């Protein structure tokens, strides 16, 4: 397998969890969410694991040690968060997985699927899933196996809203072009933020190819509230129960 690095986005606060703990440290099945992700990345034998933390992210830094962290000084969007890891990946030419730290259920097989697709000559591969209720998710617009764009629900036409292939958030990049692409993302939007999803538009503009692969719905589950955290716990218990059979 080609060299693989991973960037975990872990700068989020636990405000909606009604907790003082950073979101990625909220426990699922006895371990912080981010620890489940690191365990899987270790199984995959990735070369580097870098976590993006907030300026007050000492607790996250301690949890992920001895792996390095980098600080996102201001929360200017997901694209900006990934760019915060640039110094740690200077000169790196392998694959880079970008993972949100509140999605602890991704498996090694799903990560391998992304990497395998990337190896077919795509500069970016997104991970998609098909939820029962796709309303709030961005749509992955595919044509002939290529990803043409990601459309947020609020911006989608009726025809695009009928598509149920949704963006999970996880992506795999060619490390040689990752930061060149991120550097070309604009923040000309209502929030003034740099969105990681805009990387697709930038890559295609540069003549690069993008694609997407699919994972089970459960793996793409994230936790922003205590209710969603309890749901992740239940999914993990179900997974362990199936393994035990």
| DSSP of the chain | ---EEEEEE-----GGGT-SS-GGGSEETTEEHHHHHHHHHHHTT-SEEEEEE-TT-HHHHHHHTTS-EEE-SS---HHHHHHTTGGGGTT--SEEEEEETT-TT--HHHHHHHHHHHTTT-SEEEEEE--S--TTSPEEEEETTEEEEEE-GGG--HHHHT---EEEEEEEEETTTHHHHHHT----STT----GGGHHHHHHHTT--EEEEE--GGGG---SSHHHHHHHHHHHHHHHHHHH-
Through-space distance between the first and last CA atoms of the chain, rounded to whole angstroms: 31
Please indicate whether residue 16 is annotated as part of the active site: yes
CA-based angle 42:46:47, to the nearest 5? 120
HSE on the CB side for 46, CA within 13 Å? 25
pTM for the complete prediction? 0.95
Domains and CATH numbers, the chain: 4-244 (3.90.550.10)
Residues 6 or more apart whose CB falls under 8 angstroms from that of 244 comprise none
The pLDDT of residue 137: 93
- What pLDDT is attached to residue 1? 61
pLDDT tens by residue, the chain, 245 residues: 679 999 999 998 867 777 788 999 999 999 999 999 999 999 999 999 999 999 999 999 999 999 999 999 999 999 999 999 999 999 999 999 999 999 999 999 999 999 999 999 999 999 999 999 887 899 999 999 999 999 988 888 999 999 999 999 999 999 999 999 999 999 998 889 999 999 999 999 999 999 999 999 999 999 988 999 999 999 998 998 887 65
Q: Could you tell me if 60 and 25 are in contact, meaning their C-beta atoms sit under 8 angstroms apart?
A: yes
Instruction: Please tell me which residue in 16, 83, 136, 149 is annotated as part of the active site.
Output: 16
């Amino acid at each position: 397998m080609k060299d693989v690095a991973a960037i975990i986005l872990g700068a989020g606060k636990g405000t909606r969890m009604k907790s003082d703990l950073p979101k990625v440290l909220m426990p699922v099945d006895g371990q912080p969410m981010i620890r489940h992700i690191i365990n899987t990345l270790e199984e995959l034998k990735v070369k580097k694991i870098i976590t993006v933390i907030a300026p007050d992210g000492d607790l996250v830094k301690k949890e992920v040690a001895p792996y390095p962290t980098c600080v996102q000084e201001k929360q200017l969007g997901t694209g900006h968060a990934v760019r915060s890891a640039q110094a740690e990946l200077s000169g790196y030419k392998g694959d880079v997985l970008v993972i949100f730290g509140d999605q602890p259920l991704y498996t090694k097989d799903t990560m391998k699927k992304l990497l395998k697709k990337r190896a077919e000559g795509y500069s970016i591969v997104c991970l998609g899933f098909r939820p029962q209720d796709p309303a709030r998710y961005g749509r992955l617009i595919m044509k002939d196996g290529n990803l043409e764009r990601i459309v947020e629900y609020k911006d989608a036409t009726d025809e695009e809203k009928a598509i149920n292939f949704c963006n999970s958030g996880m992506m795999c990049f060619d490390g040689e072009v990752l930061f060149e692409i991120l550097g070309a993302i604009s923040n000309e939007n209502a929030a003034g933020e740099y969105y990681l999803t805009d990387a697709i538009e930038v890559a295609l503009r540069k003549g690069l190819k993008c694609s997407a692969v699919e994972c089970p719905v459960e793996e793409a589950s994230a936790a922003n509230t205590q209710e969603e955290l309890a749901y992740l716990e239940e999914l993990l218990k179900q997974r362990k129960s199936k393994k035990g059979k």
